[in-house]
């Protein structure tokens, strides 16, 4: 029996758990653990910006914004059971049997593939300082493949003097939560669990099994778990890029990409899969815009020789470039629209509808609307941004009054598929613009081209090669 197996056997089953970082990943996982284990500490730095969460959690309330079904009831339940407490006293880490950490690692510079590991390193050092024999350490953040068994293991060893995989267990169990369904996602999604050795994997399986309802455990090694998480988002980005490229081809060939999409999607049957997603004005968010670069960096730092077609760039990075090109394509469609309408950017007002990166959401992280906004401003246009879910964005004023935004506009540009934009009326909008031939650019396929063309609009839509060269109705 290995040294770690001996230690774990002597320590007995997991009873006390620690979770570092009371954020949208840490809070639901802490209170779900608290339903199944004797005691859970929710560790949170008593910092000026987020220390307030400690008191809120200990008073049975959730510090997270937005609706999270079941979360607040669960916080109250485990508080009344006495099985959960939030604290800034990190020294309690030495009393736990397992500690999890979910701190994100954004990229400073995609070009150099350099993520910002600062916050993650600080969290890992905190654990290392109080680490004791037999404790299980689990990283839940999305991280570059190789981080758990490399970067994290080295820091923990340096801080504690203990040997990873011999004196303590170390694993990666990536989170797959979406805001608005945090509790359900943790309980129902299958859980990837990967240890740096089989004893570590086994101990991590013991930690996560009790919180799963529909979800199953999928066990593997730590690096495979890191690749799984980064690749599952890389593949989604790739599938979107495949549809964006097809949309550009359809525009060039004068056909409707949505007819083609319906056609491709009709091919069904056992063993036949076609993940046809949707073309659009671009890909934003916190996941798809960075996880490809984590995967690329992982294979780069692995040190092993990669056998790949000579002088060919990564398919995955090319997909990122295609998706990041879509705001430029929206600018090019706008420019073509201006030319057809005999107008110029620099004496025009543009109504930009949608700043959030996701339909019916207030999340603006890496929004594709921003590069487009910068391009049309540079071309001299005045821009009014409307988004019913986003009250502000830094120094940018975001209007909540769509009519006001569209009044006097030469061009109306739809970037987000918010439900507010699904029933735009061509005649009403034409009147608001006061233009004989206003331009409308549809980045999310939310309007009916013919109703706007009939009203005299100059229409351009992503993938709508069948409509983009239409005759202008007088």
- List interacting residues with ligand SAJ (CB under 6 A): 176-178, 232-233, 236, 240, 277-278, 280, 283-285, 287-288, 357-358
Closest to ligand SAJ by CB, 235 or 299: 235
**DSSP 8-state secondary structure symbol assigned to residue 205:** H
Taking the complex as a whole, how short is the minimal distance between the CB of residue 174 and ligand SAJ, in angstroms? 9
Closest to ligand SAJ by CB, 46 or 422: 422
Hey, which residues does 464 pair with through a beta bridge?
Answer: 256
What is the DSSP secondary-structure string of 397-454?
EEES-HHHHHTT-SEEEE-S--GGGTT--HHHHHHHHT-SS-EEEESSS-S-HHHHHH
Taking the complex as a whole, how short is the minimal distance between the CB of residue 228 and ligand SAJ, in angstroms? 11
Task: Please identify every residue annotated as catalytic.
Answer: 229, 287
Strands, sheet with 411-414, edge to edge from the N-terminal-most edge strand = 392-393, 396-399, 382-386, 349-353, 411-414, 439-442, 458-461
Closest to ligand SAJ by CB, 284 or 461: 284
Closest to ligand SAJ by CB, 286 or 407: 286
Contact 69, 113 (CB under 8 A): no
Q: Do strands 169-172 and 136-139 pair parallel, antiparallel, or not at all (unpaired)?
A: parallel
Closest to ligand SAJ by CB, 9 or 216: 216
Q: Who's near 73: CB < 8 A, 6+ residues apart? A: none
Contact 251, 463 (CB under 8 A): yes
Taking the complex as a whole, how short is the minimal distance between the CB of residue 363 and ligand SAJ, in angstroms? 7
What is the DSSP secondary-structure string of 15-51?
-EEEEE--STTHHHHHHHHHTTSSEEEEE----TTTT
Can you tell me the distance from the alpha carbon of 241 to that of 283, in angstroms, rounded to the nearest whole number?
Answer: 9
Taking the complex as a whole, how short is the minimal distance between the CB of residue 152 and ligand SAJ, in angstroms? 20
Can you tell me the distance from the alpha carbon of 328 to that of 320, in angstroms, rounded to the nearest whole number?
Answer: 14
Hey, which residues does 84 pair with through a beta bridge?
Answer: 40
Taking the complex as a whole, how short is the minimal distance between the CB of residue 326 and ligand SAJ, in angstroms? 8
Taking the complex as a whole, how short is the minimal distance between the CB of residue 139 and ligand SAJ, in angstroms? 15
Can you tell me the distance from the alpha carbon of 405 to that of 337, in angstroms, rounded to the nearest whole number?
Answer: 19
Closest to ligand SAJ by CB, 151 or 357: 357
Q: Do strands 98-101 and 411-414 pair parallel, antiparallel, or not at all (unpaired)?
A: unpaired
């Amino acid at each position: 029996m290995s040294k770690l197996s001996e230690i774990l056997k002597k320590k007995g089953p997991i009873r006390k758990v620690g979770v570092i970082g009371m954020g949208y990943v840490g809070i639901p996982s802490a209170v779900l653990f608290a339903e199944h284990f004797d005691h859970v500490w929710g560790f949170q730095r008593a910092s000026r910006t987020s220390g307030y969460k400690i008191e809120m959690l200990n008073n049975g309330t959730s510090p997270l914004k937005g609706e999270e079904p079941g979360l607040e009831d669960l916080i109250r339940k485990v508080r009344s059971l006495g099985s959960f407490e939030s604290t800034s006293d990190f020294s309690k880490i030495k009393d736990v049997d397992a500690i999890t950490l979910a701190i994100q690692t954004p990229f400073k510079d995609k070009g150099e593939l350099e993520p910002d590991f600062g916050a993650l390193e600080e969290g890992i050092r905190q654990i290392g300082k109080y680490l004791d024999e037999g404790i299980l350490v689990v990283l839940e953040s999305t991280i570059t493949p190789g981080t758990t068994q490399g970067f994290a293991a080295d820091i923990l060893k340096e801080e504690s003097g203990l040997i990873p995989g011999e004196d303590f267990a170390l694993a990666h169990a990536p989170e797959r939560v979406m805001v608005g369904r945090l509790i359900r996602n943790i309980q129902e999604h299958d859980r990837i669990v990967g240890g740096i050795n089989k004893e570590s994997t086994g101990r991590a399986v013991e930690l996560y099994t009790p919180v799963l309802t529909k979800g199953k455990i999928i066990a593997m090694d730590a690096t495979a778990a890191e690749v799984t998480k980064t690749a599952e988002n890389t593949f989604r980005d790739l599938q979107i890029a495949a549809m964006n490229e097809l949309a550009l081809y359809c525009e060039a060939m004068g056909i409707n990409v949505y007819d083609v999409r319906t056609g491709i999607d009709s091919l069904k049957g056992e063993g036949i899969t076609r993940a046809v997603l949707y073309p659009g004005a671009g890909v934003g968010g916190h996941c798809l815009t960075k996880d490809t670069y984590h995967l690329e960096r992982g294979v780069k730092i692995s040190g092993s020789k990669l056998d790949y077609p000579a002088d060919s760039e990564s398919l995955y990075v090319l997909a990122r470039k295609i998706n990041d090109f879509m705001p430029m394509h929206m600018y090019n469609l706008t420019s073509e629209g201006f030319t057809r309408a005999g107008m110029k950017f620099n004496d025009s007002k543009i109504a930009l509808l949608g700043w959030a990166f996701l339909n019916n959401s207030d999340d603006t992280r890496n929004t594709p609307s921003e590069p487009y906004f910068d391009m049309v401003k540079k071309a001299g246009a005045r821009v009014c941004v409307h988004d019913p879910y986003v009250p502000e964005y830094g120094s940018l004023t975001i209007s909540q009054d769509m009519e006001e935004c569209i009044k006097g506009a030469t061009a109306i540009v739809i970037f987000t598929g918010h439900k507010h934009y699904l029933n735009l009326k061509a005649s009403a909008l034409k009147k608001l613009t006061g233009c004989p031939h206003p331009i409308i650019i549809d980045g999310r396929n939310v309007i009916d081209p013919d109703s706007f063309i009939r009203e005299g609009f100059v229409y351009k839509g992503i993938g709508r090669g069948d409509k983009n060269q239409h005759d202008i109705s007088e």
